[in-house]
Structure 1
Amino acid sequence: MSANASAVRVRSDGPRRARRGRGAGLGLAAWLIGLLFFLPIAWMALTSFHSESDAATNPPSWAASLTLDGYREFFGVGGGASPWPSLINSTVASLASTLFVLLLALPAAYALSIRPVRKWTDVLFFFLSTKMLPVVAGLLPIYLFAKNTHFLDNIWLLVILYTSMNLPIAVWMMQSFLAEVPVAIIEAARVDGARLPTVLARVVAPIALPGIAATALICFIFSWNELLFARVLTGVVAETAPVFLTGFITSQGLFLAKVCAASLVISLPVLAAGFAAQDKLVQGLSLGAVK
């Protein structure tokens, strides 16, 4: 009996060791891929603390002396242009458009998931089809409209454009999130006399909060990083942070250390938002993945 038990244990341990080996291999591959994506960011951060002469060396030097000159020039210390108006414009445009997207996408996703309309799949395809047109194809009509209505160089024009740009993605994402909300809870709230705004605010939104947070973060990132509309439709008053960043590339050359410092500072709000909402982001993006 003991010999048979030992043989059975050896046979059962074999597949377990193989699974552990595959798991370790996949974990190592994930770490290598993560490092591959992280190295350019780390190199950009290190270059931002170098002087322009050290940053321009080829091959680059890891042991070069560190300095804050790039950050001083970015923040306008010593008479340069201040980045704060551009950062404020990006913050206003990104937060306002994200808020409007959530206010519009939540009822639309509710109608397409919990209270489905006829041919709701066709509606979702229509929302997604609006993203198939290249942005540059609609740039000229938008520019002419903004010019004729005296709406150029206005931050609220960007808010409207970013809202319309992110709304199809938000509806598509939130429809899948809201489809996981138990219908019985909503029906119980309606039996108690709750109207649609109350159902959305007090029943649906708390349950689908991870999905809403994931959608909001993605819309915020898209709005913050948008360059084409901001570059063409703004000037001095409504200039955003990505447009301000392009100002460091001049006819005199590319100031690498200063560009790296500016890129790192402009990326910090997105990185901070992603770090603060990482648990909600992972939970929201994986919602409904396992039945």
Structure 2
Amino acid sequence: MYCYGGYQDEARRITRGHSEDNLKQINTFYVDFDDRTLTNSAILVASLDLGFMPTAIVKTERGYQVYFVLSSPAYVTARTDYQVIKVAKTISQNIRNYFQKEGLPVDKACNHFGIARLPIEDNLEFYEPSYVYSFDEWLWWSLKQETAIKPKTNLTVLSGSDGLKQTDEPWFKLLLCATNIRGHKALLGRNNALFTLALACYGSGMAEQACRLLLGSFLERLEEPLSQIEFDKTIKSAYSGRYEAASRDYILSLCRAWVSPDLRPSDLFSYQRWYKFKKPRDQRVKSHLWEWEADVLDYLEKISFEASPFIQT
């Protein structure tokens, strides 16, 4: 939920107020599926293994929007340094990753806190008001997803990129030279590519005017270029300071869509790699957070059973 919102133009196509620094509270997680052949039954079946059933499923022209409503809002406050937004984004991304692994057509370009379709009788295909869950329940589920992919061997690979600018990365040059990038709804296309390139310029310390010159050439090379208005709006947004750099998964999806589907992460990202052997945990003074999480989950799994799911300590 935003503090305020509206439209900037009479045609009601350009919104205002829909930015993360204007968020007041998180009420719902939602996933956008873009495939007309998909059924709401397939979504419900996939949700069974997720462990959280959707509160509502809304039919759209292109597929479905699935809503997981929270039992109580998660409030965004300065007192917590707006950490709720970052945590909610992680949970939302893990939900999308789950459905994608289940083979469902998730729209990865959809804003985590975007404008969603209003449910009405004509498009509401499923609704169960009792299917609501707390933010903490989602957080615990999300932590388990993160724990499952943490390295747990004595050999740890540490990676860093001190001194390496994003504009020097291989992916930046590959995407910058792509000329066939198009723009369609529910597609990682021109706007996404331009915004990602502009974020890399901003994160690399490039002046906005220099970025405009560089990406202006990129725009001219496109077979289907963006309008100047869209170009200006995208650059201004990237340089607003409200956004972090694009995630690797996002960059990888863009490059595989418009450069080559066979690209690997090692083809796109440069790192300074070094290895070190980590001491056994009983010889260390400090432990990693993921080790604490694993301890708690392991403890709960050992002492909880279906017949007695409630634990008191």
Pair member with larger Rg:
1
Structure ranking higher in helix proportion? 1
TM bracket, shorter-chain basis: under 0.3
Structure with bigger RCO (C-alpha 8 Å, 6+ apart):
1
Structure ranking higher in strand proportion? 2
- TM-score, with normalisation over the residues of structure 1? 0.22
- TM-score, with normalisation over the residues of structure 2? 0.21
